[in-house]
């Protein structure tokens, strides 16, 4: 597979390993990374010899979400935001998480089918701390992959979720030692590719179709929330405070 400056894609038998490589920015997603992720996932979707995908950020971090200075670019036709979170897939995608998966990075994790997390991983939705809301699926997916009140806790406080708690609550499938998430993900991928690919894909298609039956409404409500936030003074203040490295001064307007 070809690679870009933002994403490396490597084939291992029937598995495509997609690695975000913008490590100097904690793999924050800009427009170029969105395009690269979209291209890699399109290849996974389209190549009949690729049966399972793994998405990782490398041994030190997963993804800090949207690059707030550059933005994540336009949603792609097939993948939506980041080229990932709006995608309809029939091939399993495994998230191998080391370090932070914050904001949009956590929303990318929620869009995957299996989650492997190292014990040093951290999940969080800190948007409310910036006067923003999670706009890449978490407003409706968090309550799908976590108990409702835990989803509300994360969305309303911006607090972190540890791998141990994420495993106990059913979000994470396996917790590993630091540096071992990708190896474990490859083990899970091997167990999937040992099965009939058409059977695996049809099983995933049906489960996802049922689970995502209300996604259109979820995206519509997210868009409505985003419009309200975009017109608020608090959103402007939260972003300004982030770049100025100071505490925000909220007005509630």
Task: State residue 135's pLDDT score.
Answer: 96
Please, which pLDDT band fits residue 5 given cuts at 50, 70 and 90? confident
* pLDDT tens per residue across span 60-78: 999 999 999 999 999 999 9
Q: What are 117's strand-pairing partners? A: 97, 175
pLDDT of residue 4: 79
Share of the chain above pLDDT 90, in %: 98
User: How far is the C-alpha of 102 from the C-alpha of 70, rounded, in Å?
Assistant: 17
Total residue length of the chain: 253
pLDDT over 70, % of the chain: 99
Q: Is residue 82 part of a domain?
A: yes
CB-based contact 37:2 (threshold 8 Å): no
Q: Does a structural domain hold residue 186?
A: no
**Domain-embedded: residue 146:** yes
Tokens 């869009």 -> residue: 111
**Dist CA 235 CA 63 (whole Å):** 22
Q: Assess if residue 175 is contained within a domain.
A: yes
Q: Specify whether the CB–CB gap between 237 and 250 falls below 8 A.
A: yes
Alpha carbon 137 to its chain centroid, in Å, reads 9
How many domains does the chain divide into? 1
pLDDT, mean of residues 221-226: 96
**Is 127 labeled as catalytic in the residue annotation?**
yes
Determine the pLDDT at residue 49: 98
Model confidence at 3, in pLDDT bands (50, 70, 90)? low
The span from the CA of 246 to the CA of 9, in Å, is 38
220 falls within a domain:
no
Range of the domain at 32: 7-179+196-210
Indicate whether 2 pLDDT > 90.
no
- Of the residues 127, 224, 237, 244, only one is catalytic, namely 127
Does 90 map to a domain? yes
Give the predicted TM-score (pTM) of the model: 0.95
The answer to whether residue 67 sits within a structural domain is: yes
- Active-site entry in 10, 32, 77, 107: 107
Asked if the structure places residue 64 within a domain, the reply is yes
Which CATH number characterizes residue 114's domain? 3.90.226.10
């Amino acid at each position: 597979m070809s690679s870009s400056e933002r994403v490396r894609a490597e084939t291992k038998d029937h598995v495509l390993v997609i690695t975000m490589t913008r490590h100097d920015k904690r793999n924050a997603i800009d427009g170029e990374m969105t395009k690269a992720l979209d291209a890699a996932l399109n290849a996974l979707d389209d190549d009949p010899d690729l049966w399972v995908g793994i998405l990782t950020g490398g041994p030190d971090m997963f993804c800090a979400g949207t690059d707030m200075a550059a933005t994540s670019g336009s949603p792609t036709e097939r993948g939506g935001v980041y080229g990932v979170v709006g995608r309809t897939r029939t091939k399993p995608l495994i998230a191998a998480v080391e370090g932070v998966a914050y904001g949009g990075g956590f929303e990318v994790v929620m869009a995957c089918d299996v989650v492997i997390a190292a014990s040093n991983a951290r999940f969080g939705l800190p948007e409310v701390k910036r006067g923003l809301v999670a706009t890449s699926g978490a407003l409706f997916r968090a309550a799908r992959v976590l108990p409702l009140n835990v989803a509300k806790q994360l969305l309303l406080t911006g607090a972190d979720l540890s791998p141990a708690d994420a495993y106990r609550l059913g979000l994470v499938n396996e917790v590993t030692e630091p540096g071992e998430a990708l190896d474990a993900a490859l083990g899970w991928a091997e167990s999937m590719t040992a099965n009939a690919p058409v059977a695996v894909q049809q099983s995933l298609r049906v489960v996802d179709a049922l689970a995502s039956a209300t996604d259109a409404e979820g995206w519509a409500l997210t868009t409505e929330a985003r419009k309200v936030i975009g017109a608020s003074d608090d959103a402007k203040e939260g972003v300004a405070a982030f770049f100025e490295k100071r505490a925000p001064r909220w007005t509630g307007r």
